[in-house]
Amino acid sequence: MLALSTPILVALLSALTASAWKDQCEGFTANIPNVVMKPSYYPAGALVNLTSPSSSVTTTKMPAFCRLELTITTNVTSGNKALTEVWMPDGWNSRLLGFGNGGLSGGVVYSSLSYDGIQQGYSSFSTNTGHQSSPINGSWALNDVNAQIDFGYRAFQLSYQAAKALTEQYYGKAISKKYYLGCSTAGRMGLVEAQRYPEDFDGIVIGSPANPVARLSAWNIYQGRQVLPVNGSRWIPAATWSVIHQEVLKQCDGIDGVVDQVINDPRQCNFRPEAIACGPSSNSSTCLTLGQIAAVRALYSDWQSDNGTFLFSRFEPGGELAYATSYVSGPNIALGPEYWKNIIFSDPNWDYNTLTVDDVFRAIQSNPGQIDNHSFNYTSYFARGGKLLHYAGLADQIISSGNSYDLYNSVSAFTKASTNLDPYDSYRFFPIPGMYHCNGGLGANAFGGGGQRSVGTPPLAVDPSHDVLAAMVAWVENGNAPKEFVAAKYTNNNATQGVQYTRKLCPYPKKAVYQGGDQNSSDSFICA
């Protein structure tokens, strides 16, 4: 017998395997109704250089994989189509992973397929949700009910079905477990899946869900209207947001015993903008006028209708440097009006200044495309063993983190009231102090959340203590529910510049409590 050293043997075997996989991929055919498929094979280290309207990657760091480009006809009568991709690595971990989208979507999320998906061994899929367009442009939805339904739930669910069938045919073996990962609109999509199709996924990891869109997009407009017009009496220029931020830190940073530019629990911060009111001899670039104080008071209060009905939660103190770039940064208010123009009023010229609270309640009722689900009933998903892990940045500038607390509290209460399940066995919520929308910010914000790797903030390790998806796998497959994470804050939120500090992330209602010692070490904190 020819004696070969183990490394040579492994190299020979994998060389053979790679060419077999190439043949398997390029010759792969499958007959799925209403799905047209095009396979192509990428050897390990090949250039992957792909762009969609919402994502692009240029990398040579991917493992070998088979790329399937699918065109799915979502409604044969209308002819609406979704573009979906399924990427299947040679070194498959026997699991399926689905990704959601951002904003109003409009493209396959190549960055997630690459960095969150095949690099971790998952057979991975992503869809354009039924239209190609920039994430902040909603004109695709105008008078196209089928496109609205596709965005609401259909394109993703059909993509899931195709990805599941194709993965099992390609590898000739059943998928072991199925997972979902995503933030923002992807968070809404994960919730929709858990609610409408509780059998699809075993573990769903969502961040800052854009749900319900009717309330959120109205709140975007409401917040913008607090400061507009630009240069009016309530307008807050970017430099003034920095001044407000410094004052927030002065009033609230130390509440948790740690002065670190992060408000650990913004709900404990009763910010008083009056403390920096302009006096007769003030320098107007370092103080707030009466109009600005009124605007700040409104922005940092929950939005209620005149009769006291709650509509949406407030901006939390601490995110000011990001608020300077959000809805309150100029007259366009980004996404909010796109939903109302194209989906609710079918009028591209609709003026956001005319939005009323009654419009919001009517949109909640009509719910075009069933984009939202206003019910807190996730009991079918929980009862069949499905797990839900949810996180939200406490300095989120796009979707106030209060919306996540509200969802968690409401779903927990509903579950307790209508079943004998303990919701904590199925659903855990991790507030992330100082994190902006989905990633970034001044707090420890790298823990494997959707899209974090592709912006340069990977988790410290791919294990259940540092990575939310690995924690979800341990929860689903070994019954180890996540108790805490260690997240990294990288210098300039860029891992190549090194770790600035580490910090514990805790499941609500627990918080990270400082025990003394090195503030830069997560070991100095406990979840309590």
**Interacting residue ranges for ligand NAG, rule: CB under 6 A:** 47, 49, 51, 58, 75, 77-78, 137, 139, 146, 149, 195-196, 230-231, 283, 285-286, 305, 307, 309, 357-358, 361, 367, 370, 373, 375, 377, 379-380, 418, 456, 494, 496-497, 500-501, 518, 520
Q: In whole angstroms, how close is the CB of 520 to ligand NAG at the nearest point?
A: 4
CA dist list (Å): 400 to 128, 183, 217, 220, 352: 26, 13, 12, 10, 20
Q: In whole angstroms, how close is the CB of 244 to ligand NAG at the nearest point?
A: 14
Q: How far apart are CA 236 and CA 328, in angstroms?
A: 8
Q: How far apart are CA 473 and CA 452, in angstroms?
A: 18
Question: Could you tell me if 157 and 105 are in contact, meaning their C-beta atoms sit under 8 angstroms apart?
Answer: no
Q: How far apart are CA 391 and CA 406, in angstroms?
A: 13
Q: In whole angstroms, how close is the CB of 278 to ligand NAG at the nearest point?
A: 12
Nearer to ligand NAG, 157 or 401 (CB): 157
The count of other CB atoms within 10 Å of the CB of residue 308 is 6
The question of whether 245 is a catalytic residue gets the answer no
Longest CA span, the chain = 95
Which residues have a Cβ under 8 Å from the Cβ of 141 and sit 6 or more positions away? 104, 131, 147, 148, 151, 342, 343, 369
The active-site residue, picked from 54, 133, 184, 208, is 184
Nearer to ligand NAG, 51 or 480 (CB): 51
Nearer to ligand NAG, 125 or 490 (CB): 490
Nearer to ligand NAG, 258 or 293 (CB): 258
Nearer to ligand NAG, 94 or 370 (CB): 370
Q: How far apart are CA 129 and CA 178, in angstroms?
A: 19
The question of whether 401 is a catalytic residue gets the answer no
Q: In whole angstroms, how close is the CB of 152 to ligand NAG at the nearest point?
A: 8
Nearer to ligand NAG, 233 or 497 (CB): 497
Which residues have a Cβ under 8 Å from the Cβ of 310 and sit 6 or more positions away? 302, 303, 304
Tokens 């339904």, residue located: 149
Nearer to ligand NAG, 121 or 456 (CB): 456
* Per-residue burial over 402-430, b = 16 or more CB atoms within 10 Å of its CB, e = otherwise: bbbbbbbeebbebbeeeeeeebeebbbbb
Q: How far apart are CA 510 and CA 431, in angstroms?
A: 9
CA dist list (Å): 292 to 284, 296, 321, 494: 11, 6, 16, 34
The active-site residue, picked from 202, 396, 465, 466, is 396
The question of whether 396 is a catalytic residue gets the answer yes
The active-site residue, picked from 131, 245, 390, 437, is 437
* CA torsion through residues 338, 339, 343, 346, sign: negative
Nearer to ligand NAG, 123 or 195 (CB): 195
Q: In whole angstroms, how close is the CB of 375 to ligand NAG at the nearest point?
A: 5
**Could you tell me which residues are beta bridge partners of residue 127?**
84
Q: In whole angstroms, how close is the CB of 486 to ligand NAG at the nearest point?
A: 16
SS3 78: coil
Nearer to ligand NAG, 40 or 497 (CB): 497
Q: In whole angstroms, how close is the CB of 480 to ligand NAG at the nearest point?
A: 27
Which residues have a Cβ under 8 Å from the Cβ of 250 and sit 6 or more positions away? none
SS3 201: coil
- List the alpha helices (DSSP H) in 303-356: 320-323, 336-339
CA dist list (Å): 414 to 20, 191, 419: 51, 15, 8
Q: In whole angstroms, how close is the CB of 176 to ligand NAG at the nearest point?
A: 25
Amino acid at 414: F
Which sequence positions are flagged as catalytic?
A: 184, 396, 437
